[in-house]
Structure 1
Amino acid sequence: MAGVLLDILRQASEDGGGIIPYTEFHNAQLSEHANLQAEYVAWRQNTSTTALCSICQMPYLLTPEAKSFIMHGEAAMQQQQHLSAAAMQAFFSGGSAAVAAFLQIRVRRSHVVEDALNQLAHLEAQDLKKPLRVTFITGGVPEPAQDEGGVTKEFFQLLTRDLFRPEYAMFTYNELTRTHWFSPASLEAEDEYALVGAVLGLAIYNAVILDVHFPLAVYKKLLGIRPTFADLKAAFPDLGRGLQQLLDFEGDVEAVFCRSFTAQYEFYGEMREEELKPGGASIPVTAANRREYVDLYTAWLLEGSVGRQFGAFRAGFLRVCGGPALTLFTPAELELLVCGLPHLDFEALQAVAKYEGGYSAEHQEVRWFWEVLHSLSLEQKRAFLMFTTGSDRAPVGGLGKLPLLIQRAGPDSDNLPTSHTCFNSLLLPEYASKDRLRAKLLTAVENAQGFGLQ
C-alpha cells in the first residue's frame, strides 16, 4: 500500500514538472538489503498485469547502484546461457570451448574503428553478450598482453576517441555544454552509428565507464521517450534562449523576428534549408502560430534532422542492451551507467586505494600525495582522474568503487609521475618534499593528453 501511495506521489511530481527530485524516492536500505536476483526472477516470471510481486515493478524505489547490479546480473545470466550454448557447440564441432566462451576482438592499433566495425557489425546479438576479450595487433603481430580488463578498457578508450574525432564528422561538439550531438550533415554510413551504439552497450555489459558525453535527450530517446522543448534548451542553451524569447515576446512577432516555418543547417560549408511543414517557407511565424513553430523546430532538431543517424545508433545499442532491465532506468540513470557520476568523493577514493612497490597508506610520500590531491581545485581533481583512469567521472557507486593503485616509481628524480589508465594506476616517484610532489604531479596532469574527446 505504501508503495502505491509513493507511486501516486511520484507521478504527481512528474506531472508537475519534477517538484520532488526523483532521487528522493530512492530507498537506500531496501536497495542494499533486498535479494535483487530473486526480485528480478520474480518480476520476469510474473504473468499478471495487476499483481505486485517484485520491487522491480516499482523501480523508483531502487538506487542507480541497485539497478546497475540488476542489469549486470541480467547480463551475467544471459552470458552464462550463451557460454553454455557456445561450449556445447564447440564440443560437437571440435572447437575450443574457451575461445567460444568469449567475444574475441582483434584490432590493429592503426585501424581501430575499421577493425571493430568489420568484426562487430555482423555478429549475432547473443554473441555481443559474451564477455569481451581484446587483442591488439602491432606490425602484424599480436601484442603479448593478456586481457584481464585493462586491454578491454584501452580498446574502448581508443575506439571512442577515434569515433568522435572531428574529421569523422559524425558528431558536432557544443563548447558550452561540452556534449556531442549527431551531425545532420553526416555522410557516414549507418553502420558507423550502429557501432557507436553497440560500443555504449558493450561498455555497460563489460562494466567500463566511457568518456562520452551526450545531452540527456539522447538517453531519453534510447528509452523510447520523446524529447521536449526543455530538452532542446538543455542541449542547445543559446538556441533555446532565442526560441524562448520568441515565445515570450509581446510585440509584433512577424515583423521583429522575420522567421518562416523553416530550419537551417550547415552542410560542409553550405547553408541548407528544410521546411518544418509543407509550404513552410512561405508561412511566417506570428504570435498566433509561434508555439507550433517551436514544437516543430524541436521535433526537427532532436528527431527528424538526425533520424537516420540516431535510428542506427539506437538499434546498435539495443542489440546489446535491449533486455528487460533497461526499462528500470530513468534517462539520467542510464547516463550514469554509461559515463559515471559527476560527483566526486576523494575521501572514498583514498579509503579504497591500494599500494605497491614499497608504498603503504602510512608512507610519508603517500600522505603527502593525498594532502596535495585533497587541496586541488575541482577542475584539477577531474584532470587527475582523467590522467589516471581515462575518465573524469566516478563509476556507479562513486569513487569508492574505483580500484586506484599507487606504485612507487623509484627515488626522488626529475621524472614526472606517469599512469596506466587501463589499470587505474599511478606511478609516483618518491619525491623529497610535498611541494616538489605537488609541482611534479600538476605538471604531469595538466600536460597529459589522455584519451579525452575534446
Structure 2
Amino acid sequence: MLCFWGAQVREGFGLEQPDKVKHGNSGIRSVCPKSKVQDMSAGRSFVGFIRDGQVSVLRLRSEDCDHDGKLTQLQLKNDRIRLILCGGDGAVLLAYGGKVLIMDKSIVCRPLKGLDNRQVIQIACGDHHSMALTTDGQLLVWGENSHGQLGLRKDHPGSPSAQHVQSLSGIPLAQISAGGDHSFVLSLSGVVFGWGKNSAGQLGLRDTTDRHASVVNSLNRKKTVSISCGGEHTATLSKGGTVFTFGSGGSGQLGHKSFKDEHHPRVVAELWGSGHRHHTLVSVASSKLIYSFGCGMQGQLGNEEIIKQSVPFPVNLPTEYNHEYTIAKLIAGKNHSFALLVKELGNELEQPKSNPSREIFTLNDRMIDCWVSKSDTNSWKAIKKNLSFYFNVNVWFCSCDDHYRTSEDHCGLDFDLVKSSFAKLSENKSLISEVVKVVQQMLSSLNPNPTGVESLRVYLLLPELIRHVQEQQRTELTEALASKILQLNPDARKVLETYWSRLPEDWLKNVVDLLKKESAMLIEKIAFQGINWDIPRRLKKFVQILHMVCCNTNRNITKSDFMIYEINDLLIMVSVEKEKYFLFGILCGLALNNNSVVHLPFPLALFKKLLDVKPSLKDLIEFSPVLGKSLQYILDYSDDVEEMDMNFTVSLTEFVDKYLDYILNKSVEEEFEEFKRGFFKACARCMVEMFELEELRGVLVGNEEYDWDILKQNTTYEGSFYAEHPTIISFWEVFEELTSNEKKAFLMFLTGFEKVPILGMSAVKMSVRPLFSFTQDHLPQALTCHSLLDLPVYQNKKTLKAKVIEAINHKRGFWEE
C-alpha cells in the first residue's frame, strides 16, 4: 500500500485508475497497485516508483506548470532497478548488479561515469549533487560543489563523473545521506561525518560556517545507526530510538517546539523517519504511528492542520494500516508526504526489509574455516574479493556492540577474533601470497591525515597480519608500515600511541618482537647489501616511539625487551672482514646519537680522522707507545745525520711524516672509510662538529673522572630499602672497601660500561631494590638499561661482600661470556 498526502497531485499518480484511490481523513489518500511498489522517492521536480525492477517517473507541477505530468516508464534496456532517489531536477538509480544510472530533467538515463566497475550498494541524492557507497567502502561523489558538498578540496569546481573522497579512505562507512547542499556519512561505529553548506547549522557543528568533512563530536558514542538529510536540516537516529535534529527550524521542521535554527544536535523524541526542506516525518515502530512536524501549509503534515507545526503530532493513517501493514519507508517530498507500507504475513513481511547485497560484509569463524579449507568455492572467491580492500579488514574485527564506543581512547577491536582469524589464515600456505597483496594495498592507500580515528585501527591490525607472512616480505612490509606511521600527522599519531598503550599485554609484546626481529634483519642488510640507511632509520624511529609509550604507561615491557641481541653476532663479524666496518661505524654512530657510552678504548686519532683533522705523532704514541717513542727519538737525534743507510735518501722529518701517514692513514684507509661512512649514516656530521675532539671522545667512550661519593648521593631506593636500612649501610661499607679496579668493575656490572659519561658521575642514577630469595646463595643482579641493582638481604656484611665481589668478577654481560 502507498499512502500520500499534501499538495494537489495527479490522482493515484497513474499507478491506478482514479476511482481506485481511497480517500481517508486529513486528506490522506492510499492506493494498492496491482504491480507492487518496491521503492519510491520524491524530489523537488519528480516522484519516482520502482515496480518489478522497472522505473516510472511523474513530473510534479511547479511555478511554471500548474499540472502534473504523466507517469512515464524509463527506457533502461536490461537493467533492473532496486533503488531510486530523486533530487532537485533529476534522479539517481541503482541497479541490482551495483550499476548506477543518472536521470536528468528530460528523464533520459545514462550510466554514471567514473565507477570503474565498482559495485555500488547505496546511493544518495541532494539538490545538485549525489553520492554512492561501494562494496569496498569507497565514497564516490558527483555534481556541483558550490558549498563543498562533494567533500573534495575547497576549490574543486564539481564533476559530472564519480570522484573518490579520499579523506574518508579506511573508515568503514555504513550509510550515506545527501541534503540540499550538504552531505553526511555514518561509520559502522556510529561516528557521524558532515560537510558542505552550513548556513542554518545543518552540519551540527555549533556554527554556520561551511565545512570540509568534519566529525560531529556531539554525536560521538550516541550509537547513531541512521541519518536523514533535509534541504537545510538533518536528523539522526540512535540505536536506542532517540532522534536528534539540527539545522533550519523556521517551519518547525526540527520538532523542538520552536521555530529557531539549531546549530547542534538536539533530542526530539523516540521517533524516526524522513525529512525534506520544510517538514519532517517520523515513525515509532512499536506503536506503528507516524508523526509529522514542520510546514503543513499544503496539508503535508496529514493531521487536518494547515499550519507550521513545531512539535510532533500523529498522522491520521487509514485504520486498516494498524492491523495489516507495517511501515517500509517514509518519504518527505517538497510539498508531499508518502508512506510505503507492506503487509505482515504472520511474523514475516511481504517483502524483505533490505537486499542482502547491501549488507556490510562481516567476518565469522565459518567463513574463515571455508577460506582456509577452500571447501566452499563461492565463499572462497567472495572473501578473497572482499579482503582486497582494507576497508573490510577494518570492519571485520569490530567488537560487537562495543565498537560504538570507538573514540580517541578506545579502538573498538576484538583482539581475540583478530588473533584467531590470522592464525587460521596462516595455516594455508597458498593464502600467504594473497595476504601480502592485501597488506601492500593497505599500505599504499593509507591516509597520513585521517578524518576520523576509525581508520587508525588498521595500524593495530597490520603488525599481527605481517607476523604471519614469509621472512623476506615481512621485513619489507614492517619497514613500509613504520614509514606510514611516521607520516601520520601529530594528532593522529597521538591517538595511535594511546591505542598502543592500551593494547593487551601479549599483543603489544608481539608488536615489539616483530620490530626487534625486523630491525635486526635490516641492520644485517646494511652490512651485506648496503641498503639505504633511511630505511632502518624509519624503523628505529618507530621502535623509539613504541618504547616511549611503554615507558610512559608503566607496561610490563622493559628496555631489555627492545634490545637486539643479534647485533652482538654482527659485531663479531666486523672483526673478521673489512667491509663490515661500515656496520661498526653505524653502531658507534648510534651510540653517540643516543648518548650511550661504549666499552671500546678509541684513541684520539680516530676522532681527528672523523673530523678531517690530521693526526700527529703524539696521537700515535697514545695507542702505540713503543713505535711512537721510537719515531720521536729519531726526530730528537742531536747529531747532524741527514741520510740513512737505505736504498733511498730522505730527511728524518720526512721519514717520520711518511711513516705516520702510512700507519694512521694508508694502512687503514679502506676500513676507516667504511667505518666513517657508517658513522655518519647514523648521526649528523653537523652535530659531531659541534664538539671539541676531547669532548667528542668523552661523549662516546666516557672518561675516568670517578667520583664515587656522587654515585652514593644520587642513589635511590625502592621497596623496603631506604638509606638507613642495615643491608644498605653494609653495602656502602663494602663498596668503600673495594679496590679502584673493583669499583670500576662494579660500574661495569651496573651500567654495562666502566667509564664515566661525559656529564660526569651525576649522570649515573643507581636504584637499589631488595631481591627476594629463600637462600643466601643468590648473587646481586643488575638491570643495566636502568642502572638498577637487585640486592638480596644478606644475614651479615661478610656474606654481602663475598657475593658482590663474586658477581662483579663474573664478567658476564654485553661484552664477555
TM-score, structure 1 normalization? 0.59
Specify the structure having the higher radius of gyration (Cα). Answer: 2
Which SS does the other structure have where 1:447 is aligned? coil
Distance 1:345 1:158 in 2: 34
Of 723, 730, 751, which aligns to 1:361? 723
Structure-1 residue corresponding to 2:537: 127
Q: Which residue of 2 aligns with 1:321?
A: 683
- Superposed, which structure 2 residues align to 1:72-111 within 5 Å? 90-91=448-449, 96=459, 99-100=482-483, 106-107=516-517
- The aligned residue for residue 427 of structure 1 is 790
Post-superposition shift, 1:370?
1.5
CA distance in 2 between partners of 1:116 and 1:335 (Å): 25
How many residue pairs get aligned? The number is 310
8 Å contact from structure 1 (residues 246, 253) kept in 2:
no
Is the counterpart of residue 283 in structure 1 residue 648 in structure 2?
A: yes
Q: Which structure 2 residues correspond to residues 115-264 of structure 1 after superposition, within 5 A?
A: 117=527, 121-124=531-534, 127=537, 131=541, 133=543, 149-152=559-562, 154-155=563-564, 159=567, 162=569, 165=572, 168-170=574-576, 187-189=577-579, 192-250=580-638
Task: Give, as a single letter, the amino acid of the residue that structure 1 aligns with 2:781.
Answer: T
CA distance 1:132–1:253, shift in 2 (3 Å): farther
3-state SS of the aligned residue for 2:801?
helix
Q: Give the secondary-structure state (helix, strand or coil) at the position aligned to 2:809.
A: helix
1:443 to 776, 797, 806: 806
Higher strand share: 2
Residues 341 and 394 in structure 1, CA contact (< 8 A), matched pair in contact too = yes
Task: Quote the offset at 1:437 in angstroms.
Answer: 1.0
Superposition CA RMSD, Å: 3.8
Identity over the aligned pairs, expressed in percent?
A: 29
Q: What residue is the counterpart of 1:17 in the other structure?
A: none
The residue identity in structure 2 corresponding to 1:295 is D
In the alignment, which residue of structure 2 is the partner of 1:380? Answer: 742
Whole-Å separation in 2 of the counterparts to 1:120 and 1:91: 33
Distance in 2 of aligned mates of 1:393 and 1:346: 12
Give the number of the structure whose residues are more often helix, by fraction: 1
| Unmatched runs of 5 consecutive residues or more in structure 2 | 1-445, 461-480, 487-511, 545-554
- 2:672 — aligned with what? 310
Letter in 2 for 1:354: T
**Distance in 2 (alpha carbons) for counterparts of 1:382 and 1:132:** 35
Q: CA deviation at 1:340?
A: 2.1
Q: Which residue of 2 aligns with 1:10?
A: none
Aligned-partner Cα distance in 1 for 2:669–2:701: 24
Corresponding residue number in structure 1 for 2:334 = none
Tell me whether 1:415 sits opposite 2:805 in the alignment: no
Taking a change above 3 Å as real, the CA distance of residues 158 and 359 of structure 1, as seen in their structure-2 partners, is farther
Aligned residue identity for 1:283: F
Is residue 2:659 matched to residue 1:297? Answer: yes
User: Deviation per CA, 1:353-386, whole angstroms, max 9, x where unpaired?
Assistant: 2222321222111111122213322211110011
State the structure with bigger RCO (CA 8 A, min sep 6), 1 or 2: 1
User: How much does 1:117 deviate?
Assistant: 3.7
Query: Gapped runs of 5+ residues in structure 1?
Result: 1-87, 135-144, 171-186, 261-281
What's 1:338 paired with? Answer: 700
Please tell me whether the aligned partners of residues 216 and 231 of structure 1 are also in contact (alpha carbons under 8 angstroms).
yes
Q: Residues 128 and 202 of structure 1 are in contact (CA less than 8 Å); yes or no, is this contact kept in structure 2?
A: no
